Structure 1
């Protein structure tokens, strides 16, 4: 499961940090011109107070800007221009009042010619702050929409995978019940044994049905249960061998991945009419690739619209869609026919099964 992104800094963290940096830049800019005159401390105090005024005024501006969300960019831009101009004048008046209070010999009339320029300077600073404020707000809103879209896409994908997994149960039941129906009349004892094997298989599938991934050894255990069901019906007509490379049992695979491949092999083998039907299951690993190969004697039978021994193509189509959903282009399913054998090969990334993966799958 992907990690959640770190939470974005709060408004007050950015506010104090930004105005602190503003004061520092002002001090660094003007300090070389005053350090030799013994005015370094008054300069630091003046620029610090200027930043404090900026912090307080923009905090008030924020209260008005919050009412502009959601809103159009044009409306926000006009408000930013007007508010920056008005508050810039207020900033000048505060600065003059502070200077008059701190320095009794100071008279604002002596500095009145610079007031418009100072107001414009402050207004530009406030306009820059407004641009950053609205920019960050829009960026966070876009990020929120993006995260909601990703969550919706993830939920849709999970729903799709759950639907595909759940399709396996009626598909298997259809095939198994068809076999039981065929056995009831000719051999009731074997039919009862097959029902028992079906109960064991379905118990296993119910326990793992909500897990998108399972260890390969559990998947193969379910395949063996399935083959036990089929062997009850076909006995010597079915010859199956299973070869598993050591060390692959703890790799993870999508639940109900191998069983439909084997089911498909048995059906196609029987449809060919060449008995006994030989099915060979081979599991190997090549570096970061897990390969599952299922071969059966006979010929490839195209899917049919009607239920029957040749099958409807649901099993392989389901597996192919689930691989595409889970792994995109990193996994593939290929089928071919040669020399009286039908070959089905699945390749997917080799991933170790871990308790963390089990928790995420749940």
Structure 2
């Protein structure tokens, strides 16, 4: 009975009573059964009567141990099932938040691009048409890779190049891009659509309140089994930064934390030569596989 009875609330009093009843049943069945078999053995019958309390105690301890083992076994299985459900729920929640962040970044970029198209339609309709064409190609690429959590560096840089082409149309000669990518990094992986907000941030603050040409530099390399991407842009200490939501970099930090459980993979710093540098680190090999 205890093998099939699994109390969810550990009704110990009920189990104790059940164990006592089973002990009495086993002891008295054994007594009458042995008394019937050895009815002609007076000495053995006397031994049965004398040992009855000891046999009852032994049977009670055995059944109690079985009941306790049954409860412990059930609790272990219940906790294991609960832990599995919790992990599944956490993974689903993490995936849902990642998808939410990825889909939030796209309207964020689209909103800024449409503002630029609107401005160009007034001063340069031809360039506005070119920008719309490139924007359409960029968004088509976004839809094709929407379900890809991980992409290699070569694919991501093609995606970034489309974005840079759009920005080149927008800012013309004022924007120069210097990209250096080590060949051994082209096959490395990183979360998709992760670089665009960083580059957008660099262009936004690099070109703010200046009419001169600037250079946005990007370096992609491999350091200590991690993909390292550095994006630098000039900035003026005396100029106040333009107002913004700051959504891009904060969303990237959140996304990296969900993927790697590390809040230090995105770093920003300033240098004496008025350069603002954003450094992104993506763990590779076993570290990356653990996040999938």
TM-score by length of 2: 0.88
Instruction: For residue 243 of structure 1, give the secondary structure of its aligned residue in structure 2.
Output: strand
The verdict on how the C-alpha distance between 1:201 and 1:86 changes in structure 2, with shifts beyond 3 A counting, is same
CA positional deviation for 1:122: 0.6
Consecutive unaligned residues of structure 2, counting only runs of 5 or more, are none
Q: Find the aligned partners of 1:224 and 1:353 in 2 and give their Cα distance.
A: 28
CA positional deviation for 1:190: 1.6
Matched, 1:109 2:40: no
Partner of 2:22: 87
Partner of 1:350: 284
The verdict on how the C-alpha distance between 1:148 and 1:303 changes in structure 2, with shifts beyond 3 A counting, is farther
Partner of 1:163: 100
Partner of 1:299: 236
Instruction: For residue 194 of structure 1, give the secondary structure of its aligned residue in structure 2.
Output: helix
The verdict on how the C-alpha distance between 1:345 and 1:202 changes in structure 2, with shifts beyond 3 A counting, is same
> Which is worse superposed, 197-206 or 342-351?
342-351
CA positional deviation for 1:91: 2.1
Matched, 1:233 2:170: yes
Does structure 2 retain, via aligned residues, the 8 Å contact 1:285–1:350? no
Partner of 1:61: 2
Give aligned pairs, total.
Answer: 286
TM-superposition CA deviations, 1:61-91 (whole Å, max 9, x none): 344x33xx332x4xx2212222222212222
Q: Find the aligned partners of 1:348 and 1:316 in 2 and give their Cα distance.
A: 15
Partner of 1:78: 13
Does structure 2 retain, via aligned residues, the 8 Å contact 1:241–1:281? yes
Q: Find the aligned partners of 1:123 and 1:351 in 2 and give their Cα distance.
A: 57
Q: Find the aligned partners of 1:138 and 1:353 in 2 and give their Cα distance.
A: 34
Does structure 2 retain, via aligned residues, the 8 Å contact 1:61–1:83? no
Does structure 1 retain, via aligned residues, the 8 Å contact 2:208–2:241? no
The verdict on how the C-alpha distance between 1:331 and 1:349 changes in structure 2, with shifts beyond 3 A counting, is farther
Does structure 2 retain, via aligned residues, the 8 Å contact 1:331–1:346? no
Matched, 1:341 2:275: yes
Partner of 1:176: 113
Consecutive unaligned residues of structure 1, counting only runs of 5 or more, are 1-59, 305-310
The verdict on how the C-alpha distance between 1:303 and 1:162 changes in structure 2, with shifts beyond 3 A counting, is farther
Does structure 1 retain, via aligned residues, the 8 Å contact 2:208–2:242? no
Partner of 1:328: 261
Q: Find the aligned partners of 1:132 and 1:171 in 2 and give their Cα distance.
A: 58
Does structure 2 retain, via aligned residues, the 8 Å contact 1:216–1:249? yes
How big is the alpha-carbon RMSD for the aligned residues of Structure 1 and Structure 2? 2.5
Partner of 2:247: 314
Does structure 1 retain, via aligned residues, the 8 Å contact 2:217–2:231? yes
TM-superposition CA deviations, 1:82-135 (whole Å, max 9, x none): 222221222224444664677685566332211221011011110011011011
TM-score by length of 1: 0.72
Spell out structure 1 runs of 4+ moving beyond 4 A: 96-108
